[in-house]
Structure 1
Amino acid sequence: MGNQGEQVWGLLSGRWGFSRSVIREDSPADLLDRAEAADLLNISVGTFGGYRHETALRAAVRVVGGVEHWPRAVLEEWSAARPGDAGKRVRGGRPRGTGDLLPREEIRPRLAQLLDLDPAVTAAAAADVIGVHPDTATRTLAALRAEAVGPLLAAQPSLTAADVTRRLRFPGQAASAALAAAQGLRRAEEARAYVLEVTGLLGAAAGGPPDVLAPVRGAASLAVPLAAGESAAALVWDERWGWRTAPTRADVQSTATPPTGDAVRYLGARIAPQPADVVAAYRGRGGRRAPAVTRLPGESLQRLIPAS
């Protein structure tokens, strides 16, 4: 690999600038981070994430600037001591059950850089490169792609998936999903004033302003967090089936199908009831176990949302 290739890989895996061999000779005392350790051992970052819990590596870990490092000599000794062909390492990928190896605050900017370099990158490849769970990569890449489409959609409401592919180089399926998500986010912003009315009427029961939720299948949804001591974690409005309670913080998300459960209540018989009716149903512990009405996302919200 030439110097330019080394620098690109350094960017993707967190090793900014030139490779170590360009700067100086290797030393047994070198402290290597996860990406560098994986490179030394000729395995993926995800695979090293599974091995790092073994006794020898766990005992040798050093935390520098909040990031785990391992001495080069320890890594080389550990590799040499493993039986079989280089420890019979698995071929890439992440071990089942392995969580994110990258600090949470670094995941989004690192994936944004990767997406800039390769607009067609898959979640599996991105997870392997930067050391996060594939589900994390899937969610974050979807959000980044939707945000990239947003300005294009604002300038061209008739934007198509083919336009997205041509202008942003996202592959077909990713372009379609990003466009649907961007459209859902736009409709959520259109509904924000209505949801804010409900928030205002909740008074002290509201725990903060409404949050726009990440779209699932392009659906617009917002959540009003509730204060501590309330009977639910939040009230969620979804353009497909209206208002519902979210019993716990884990339930505060957009979903592919209407959530159900003993503590889930759907408030009102319309997609967008009058704000006072929503609050009355919540405070009166009224509601249904399932939505009274459902609709497909994407239809205009203007005729559904009550005039303020």
Structure 2
Amino acid sequence: MAITEHWPRRIVRGYKADRPERGADGGRRVGSGDMIPRDQILPRIAELLDANPAITINEVADTLGIAEFPTAQAGLAQLRGRRIADLVEATPGLTPTEAAEHLSYPTATHHGASAIAEAELRTRRARPYLQRVADVLAQADVAEPVRVEVRRIGDDHLATAAAPEGEGIRYLGSGTEPEPAELLTEFADRRKGSKHSKV
């Protein structure tokens, strides 16, 4: 038979609260989060990346007082991916990996940053079409005028909003980029469309 020691709850809580690296709940201590406001993290990482393209996650975290994972890692990957996309867009024929090399990014970062760059480029290519559709629908008084924001869903899909389903909602058009005129025609004909997203 095993004997288990039992401690009063107040003693256990006091012990946890006094530990040097953990809070009372076992996580980080209150106030030990990122030392700069969230909206300043990417601009500050961008400054560090400008000064040193090969900067590491550890160096970013130590310099800015932020968590290595996911904050510093995700910020560096996102910024490197966007900059690779900018260079690929400005230099036809350049691959994302070649752009990463041109920007002097460490080889270990090429794969992840290139994947982010490719997703960013898909988003940029989709935005003009989606904005054109939104503008045509607004001009026809079928929708409110909006500035389209494109978001990635998973690895392969782009969307301007979540795909709702339910009474009165129809999905119109054929293919991935139906012409706005086709959408308007199908919208006017209540027999057209599907109740479920085709994506």
Q: TM-score range with shorter-chain normalisation?
A: 0.5 to 0.7
How far apart are residue 108 of structure 1 and its match? 1.6
1:130 equivalent among 64, 68, 76: 64
**C-alpha distance 288-141 of structure 1, shift in aligned 2 (>3 A):** farther
CA distance in 2, matches of 1:271, 1:150: 23
Matched, 1:191 2:126: yes
Whichever residue aligns with residue 213 of structure 1, its letter is R
**C-alpha distance 121-262 of structure 1, shift in aligned 2 (>3 A):** farther
How far apart are residue 192 of structure 1 and its match? 3.3
Matched, 1:109 2:43: yes
Unaligned runs of 5+ in 1: 1-81, 224-233, 235-244, 248-260, 293-308
How far apart are residue 107 of structure 1 and its match? 1.4
1:89 maps to what in 2? 20
Is the contact made by 1:102 and 1:132 (CA closer than 8 Å) also made in structure 2? yes
Is the contact made by 1:115 and 1:121 (CA closer than 8 Å) also made in structure 2? no
Whichever residue aligns with residue 149 of structure 1, its letter is I
How far apart are residue 199 of structure 1 and its match? 0.8
Relative to the length of structure 2, the TM-score reads: 0.58
1:181 maps to what in 2? 116
1:141 maps to what in 2? 76
Is the contact made by 2:171 and 2:197 (CA closer than 8 Å) also made in structure 1? yes
Whichever residue aligns with residue 206 of structure 1, its letter is E
Unaligned runs of 5+ in 2: 1-13
1:239 maps to what in 2? none
Equivalenced residues, count: 172
CA distance in 2, matches of 1:167, 1:128: 27
**C-alpha distance 194-282 of structure 1, shift in aligned 2 (>3 A):** farther
1:273 equivalent among 145, 161, 178: 178
Is the contact made by 2:84 and 2:96 (CA closer than 8 Å) also made in structure 1? no
Is the contact made by 1:195 and 1:222 (CA closer than 8 Å) also made in structure 2? no
Judging by fraction of residues, say which structure has more helix.
2
**C-alpha distance 222-143 of structure 1, shift in aligned 2 (>3 A):** farther
CA distance in 2, matches of 1:170, 1:271: 35
Whichever residue aligns with residue 112 of structure 1, its letter is A
- Tell me the SS of whatever aligns to 1:221: strand
**C-alpha distance 165-195 of structure 1, shift in aligned 2 (>3 A):** closer
**C-alpha distance 206-96 of structure 1, shift in aligned 2 (>3 A):** farther
CA distance in 1, matches of 2:37, 2:84: 27
CA distance in 1, matches of 2:144, 2:119: 24
RMSD: 4.4
**C-alpha distance 126-289 of structure 1, shift in aligned 2 (>3 A):** farther
CA distance in 2, matches of 1:191, 1:182: 14
- CA-to-partner distance for each residue in 1:69-88, whole Å, 9 max, x for gaps? xxxxxxxxxxxxx98xxx54
CA distance in 1, matches of 2:108, 2:183: 37
Relative to the length of structure 1, the TM-score reads: 0.41
**C-alpha distance 162-273 of structure 1, shift in aligned 2 (>3 A):** closer
